[in-house]
Each structure stands twice: as structure tokens, then as C-alpha cells.
Amino acid sequence: MTDPFVDFPRSVGGWLESAEGASPVVLSTRIRLARNVLGYNFVSRLSPVRAVELVGVLRERAAAAGIAPELRWFAMSELDELRRQALVERHLISKELARSELEAGVLVGDRERISIMINEEDHLRLQVLRGGFDLDDAWSEIERIDRALERVVPYAYSAELGYLTACPTNVGTGLRLSVMLHLPALALVPDELKRVFHAAARTNLAVRGLHGEGTSAAGNMYQVSNQVTLGRSELQILEDLSHVVPSIVRFEERVRQTLFSERRDALDRRVATAKERLLGSEEIATDQALGLLSDLRLGLDLGLVHGIPEREPSRLMVLLQPGHLQLREGLPLGPRERDRARARMLRRELSGLV
């Protein structure tokens, strides 16, 4: 069987593909459901023997449920640190699953737009990813997957509380919605960005960094997601994001146009500097590269840059990260070696485009 990691350093999943005409502010939509299996302890209390047993049961039943034509299995126990890291960087697994010491893994299908984590914090973390702001399609798909699994897997459920989960904030629907936004203009006006954070908090939403809770907003990428599920229906949670995300998008677009009108020269210089550094640096750190690609992406969206495919900056934001970079090079690298390899990769990928 072909090693899927061979292609990882050069390609990204289908979830980065947005519908034609979609706002460039929204990169992706993710919906995740937390589920546990009746008759097994939560993962924190699960014995190694029972963890192995549960993985076998869930893999077999997921295959029987007909969720996707092909579900590729990645067992954490069979992957080295670089390959686990690459799966995190592609948003296919969480950092928690990557650190798992129990038998655990992930089923991946539909061009990486479906992932089913087994034995993360909960027995099952069902995840659907879509390009752009596409709550309807993502919800329809994850509902289909959830129902298919529930026909063959007895979920832990309480008539009073809803779906039972390891973390109390997930009890009820077990639903977590997350939309990835590129907010470079708001980031240039910190007071306006704070207004976005406060507005989200008033609607029971949280704004987090590139890889979710506890991470920074590298490359001006922010995730907007619901904070709790207990006491709220799926429809209420969906409506929260349906109302708030378009408002944030309009806010970002207005600030972009204001900056374009009032600070065009400064924006031109900023984008030109980004191009110069991306094409001319001998060494470049991850956060620096993400910030420069963010500026390049903003320039592309505002028509200040031409000749670059629309997805290219987003694609490179995945491929320049440490796990992908080291897979490309074929061996572990120290920090400075990674910075040099990253600079070489960016020069090679962008040469002739900018």
C-alpha cells in the first residue's frame, strides 16, 4: 500500500477548496461531535486492554456503516512524532490524540474532509471539514455520519442530559462548530479586533488561534467556535455561528476597504516587503513565514498581487509547518535547519508566481 505521507509535503486536503464566489475571509468550516460508547469507561479510565478492544470494534463498525467509500486508518502507535505532527497540522487530529499513550488513531476519508478520531478525550470525535463558510453542507454530512454510526454503535446517552462526554462543557449535543477566519485588516487595528472578541463572547462563542484552544493566531488566522453545548440545541448553536460569522466577515471586509482607500501606499509597501522576504530570505521561522503569507494573501484578495493561484498562500501555510517540512526533507531537522529548509521551499514554490 502506498504511504500517504509521501504526498503530505506537497498537497493539502480538499477542505481548503471553497465554493466559487466565497468570501476570501473564511478559510474553512469544521463541525465536530463527541460521542462515547455504552459499556466502556471514559478514555481517562480506560484500561490498555479495553482500549485495544474498543479500537477494533469501532474500526469494524465504522467500515460496516458505509460512511465513505474509503476510510484510511492511522494508528498512533505506528506513527513517529513527525507523522503525528503532520496530522495535527492538517487539522485531521488534535494535539491530545497525537500525545495518546493508549491504543488510538484516526479514520480519514473523502479527501481529508472527514476524520473520525478514536480514543481521544472521548471514544469518538467525528469531524467534517469544508472549505469556506458552509455550515449547511457540513452539518448535513456529519448528521449522516452520526446516524449511520448510531445504528451500529450504542452511544452513552441520558434522556435528561443528552450525549455523555468526558468534559462537562461538551455534555448535551457534544457539538463543536468552528470557522477559520483570516483577519489581517482587523489585526492591524487592535481595538477593532477586541470588539470582535467581545461580540463573540456575548454570543457564547470563543475566538482561538490557528490550531484551536491554547494556540496563537499565527498568520492572522482565528477560529470562532461555540464554548458550551449543555442546555443548547444543535439548532441554537448553528444559529449563533450563522449570525456572528457573517458579521465578522463584513467587519473585516469594511476595514480592508478603509485601509485600501486611506493607506494604499502603506499596504503596497507591506505586500512588497512580504514578497521580497518570501523570495529572498535564507532562513525564515514558522511564525514569520505565516505572517508574510498572511500579508501576501491580503494583497491577493485586494488585487495588489497578481499571478498567484487563490489557494496558494493557504496551501503554503500548511506545507511550511515543521512536521510537513521535515517529511519533505526526509529526516528530523534542528530549528535552524528547519528555518533554512522553509526558506528554500518558499523560494521554490513562489518563484515565477510573484
- Residue ranges, comma separated, of all CATH 3.30.590.10 domains in the chain are 4-257
The torsion angle over the Cα atoms of residues 143, 146, 148 and 153, rounded to 10 degrees, is -160
pLDDT number for residue 214: 47
> Is residue 212 over pLDDT 60?
no
| Predicted model pTM | 0.92
User: Among the listed ranges 19-28, 39-48, 259-268, 313-322, which one has the minimum average pLDDT value?
Assistant: 19-28
Who contacts 86 (Cβ-Cβ below 8 Å, separation ≥6)?
A: 5, 8, 323, 324, 327
Compute the average pLDDT of residues 295-302.
95
Query: 43 falls in which pLDDT band (50, 70, 90)?
Result: very high
CATH of domain 4-257: 3.30.590.10
pLDDT number for residue 215: 47
Helix/strand/coil for 277: helix
Q: What is the per-residue burial (b if ≥16 Cβ within 10 Å, else e) of 150-189? A: eeebebbeeeeebbbbbeeebbbbbbbbbbbbbbbbbbbe
CB 75 within 8 A of CB 89: no
Average per-residue pLDDT in the chain?
A: 92
pLDDT number for residue 144: 97
> Is residue 228 over pLDDT 80?
no
> Is residue 193 over pLDDT 90?
no
Q: How far is CA 264 from CA 35, 254, 257, 261, in A?
A: 50, 14, 10, 6
Compute the average pLDDT of residues 64-92.
94
Cα atoms in the 13 Å half-sphere on the side-chain side of 234: 16
> Is residue 210 over pLDDT 70?
no
Q: Is 296 exposed, middle or buried (0-12, 13-18, 19+ CB in 10 A)?
A: buried
